[in-house]
């Protein structure tokens, strides 16, 4: 299921995402603020990447640009070799719906819908028949350990369970990119750890070559990912594998 028309071989050989010299500014009053000041990076398939940095460093701006929720002023973003800036509005919307899964700090579930209905929403918007969407949603809830809560509404679930529903929803269209904005920010540390384990599992799924990119203030959570990118004043401070990733690669 893809928005792109490349052959399978092209998709295999091109890097998942390539950002080159991305600049994004905002005008506040008369003043120009550079949220991103020449960012180049390449999240790799099969990797869990965290982006850390102080408030105002540009983390959210970067995540929005990675997910085509916003456009840069200049620079290039290629998704499996295709320039996202060249997509028309329809292609951008399809890219967001099919190629990217979003996970948010406050889960963003619809309160009146059950867990499986929340998971199934993206496919229903995409014209998939309800019965097919339901089967897929139930299988994904099983995968995130919530098969037994499929008919519960969000207010009958714990924070960790709501985040699991949100992760199942993000996986529904089988995207190769998952973007997570402070996914553990509203959870206690034990529940946060279990969500990090689930996201690690999602990134390391050997059948998909998927990349999970997470923005976080939680440095301890970032240490459990494969790679930490530090942002400061819209610039890349460092981009390094974590000790756990180095240890794993050495095995
Ligand atoms: P972070 O997520 O690291 O806190 P942001 O990407 O939200 O950083 O913000 C980076 C800079 O860009 C900040 O100075 C912020 O005030 C500014 N900024 C972000 N979004 C907007 C916006 N929509 N309008 C104006 N300024 C913005």
Write down the pLDDT at residue 2.
Answer: 46
Task: For domain 8-250, give the fold.
Answer: Rossmann fold (3.40.50)
Nearby residues of 22 by Cβ (< 8 Å), 6 or more positions away: 36, 38, 39, 40, 62, 65, 72, 74, 75, 76, 77
Q: Please determine, for residue 127, whether its predicted confidence score (pLDDT) is greater than 90.
A: no
Write down the pLDDT at residue 47.
Answer: 92
Q: Please determine, for residue 147, whether its predicted confidence score (pLDDT) is greater than 60.
A: yes
Q: Give percent of the chain with pLDDT exceeding 90.
A: 73
Task: Please give the distance of CA 120 from its chain centroid, rounded to a whole number.
Answer: 18
Closest residue by CA, ligand 1 atom 7: 60
Chain segment 74-95, per-residue pLDDT in tens? 999 999 889 998 899 999 988 9
Q: Is the CB of 55 under 6 A from ligand 1?
A: yes
Write down the pLDDT at residue 1.
Answer: 43
Write down the pLDDT at residue 119.
Answer: 96
How many other C-beta atoms lie within 10 A of the C-beta of residue 219?
10
Closest residue by CA, ligand 1 atom 17: 35
Q: Please determine, for residue 207, whether its predicted confidence score (pLDDT) is greater than 90.
A: no
User: pLDDT grade, residue 12 (50/70/90)?
Assistant: low
Q: Please determine, for residue 245, whether its predicted confidence score (pLDDT) is greater than 90.
A: no
Q: Is the CB of 209 under 6 A from ligand 1?
A: no
Closest residue by CA, ligand 1 atom 25: 26
- Minimum-distance ligand 1 atom for the alpha carbon of 57: 3
65 CA to centre of ligand 1 in angstroms:
12
**Angle, helices 159-171/115-125, rounded to nearest 10 degrees:** 20
Beta-strand pair 48-52/227-232: parallel
Q: Please determine, for residue 4, whether its predicted confidence score (pLDDT) is greater than 60.
A: no
78 CA to centre of ligand 1 in angstroms:
23
Considering only residues 82 and 244, tell me which one the structure prediction assigns the higher pLDDT: 82
65: left (phi over 0), alpha (psi -120 to 50) or beta: alpha
Considering only residues 13 and 53, tell me which one the structure prediction assigns the higher pLDDT: 53
Q: Is the CB of 216 under 6 A from ligand 1?
A: no
Chain segment 100-118, per-residue pLDDT in tens? 999 999 999 999 999 999 9
- Minimum-distance ligand 1 atom for the alpha carbon of 62: 6
Write down the pLDDT at residue 9.
Answer: 47
Closest residue by CA, ligand 1 atom 6: 58
DSSP at 85:
G
Mean pLDDT along residues 176-185: 94
Considering only residues 85 and 119, tell me which one the structure prediction assigns the higher pLDDT: 119
Q: Pocket of ligand 1, candidates 37, 50, 60, 61: which has the most ligand atoms within 8 Å of its Cβ, to mutate?
A: 61
Write down the pLDDT at residue 45.
Answer: 86
Q: Pocket of ligand 1, candidates 25, 58, 65, 229: which has the most ligand atoms within 8 Å of its Cβ, to mutate?
A: 58
Beta-strand pair 74-79/177-181: unpaired
Write down the pLDDT at residue 39.
Answer: 96
Domain ranges of the chain: 8-250
Q: Pocket of ligand 1, candidates 23, 25, 26: which has the most ligand atoms within 8 Å of its Cβ, to mutate?
A: 26
Mean pLDDT along residues 145-160: 96
User: pLDDT grade, residue 15 (50/70/90)?
Assistant: confident
Chain segment 181-198, per-residue pLDDT in tens? 999 999 999 999 999 999
To the nearest whole number, what is the mean pLDDT of the chain? 90
Mean pLDDT along residues 57-64: 94
Measured in residues, the chain has a length of 251
- Minimum-distance ligand 1 atom for the alpha carbon of 53: 3
């Amino acid at each position: 299921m893809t928005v792109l028309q490349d052959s399978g071989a092209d998709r295999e050989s091109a890097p998942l995402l390539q950002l080159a010299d991305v600049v994004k500014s905002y005008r506040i009053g008369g003043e120009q603020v550079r949220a991103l000041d020449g960012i180049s990076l390449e999240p790799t398939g099969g990797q869990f990447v965290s982006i850390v940095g102080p408030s105002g460093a540009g983390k959210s701006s970067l995540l929005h640009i990675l997910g085509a929720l916003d456009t840069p002023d200049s620079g290039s973003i290629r998704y499996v070799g295709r320039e996202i800036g060249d997509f028309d509005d329809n292609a951008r919307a399809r890219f967001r719906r099919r190629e990217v899964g979003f996970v948010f700090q406050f889960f963003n579930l619809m309160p009146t819908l059950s867990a499986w209905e929340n998971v199934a929403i993206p496919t229903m918007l995409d014209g998939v028949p309800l019965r097919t969407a339901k089967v897929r949603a139930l299988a994904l809830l099983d995968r995130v350990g919530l098969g037994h809560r499929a008919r519960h509404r969000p207010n009958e679930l714990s924070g960790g369970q709501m985040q699991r529903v949100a992760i199942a929803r993000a996986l529904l269209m089988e995207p190769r990119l998952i973007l997570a904005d402070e996914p553990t920010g509203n959870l206690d540390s034990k529940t946060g750890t279990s969500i990090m384990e689930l996201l690690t599992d999602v990134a390391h799924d050997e059948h998909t070559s998927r990349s999970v990119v997470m923005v976080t203030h939680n440095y301890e959570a970032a240490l459990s990912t494969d790679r930490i990118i530090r942002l400061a004043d819209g610039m890349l401070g460092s981009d390094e594998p974590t000790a756990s990733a180095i240890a794993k690669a050495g095995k």
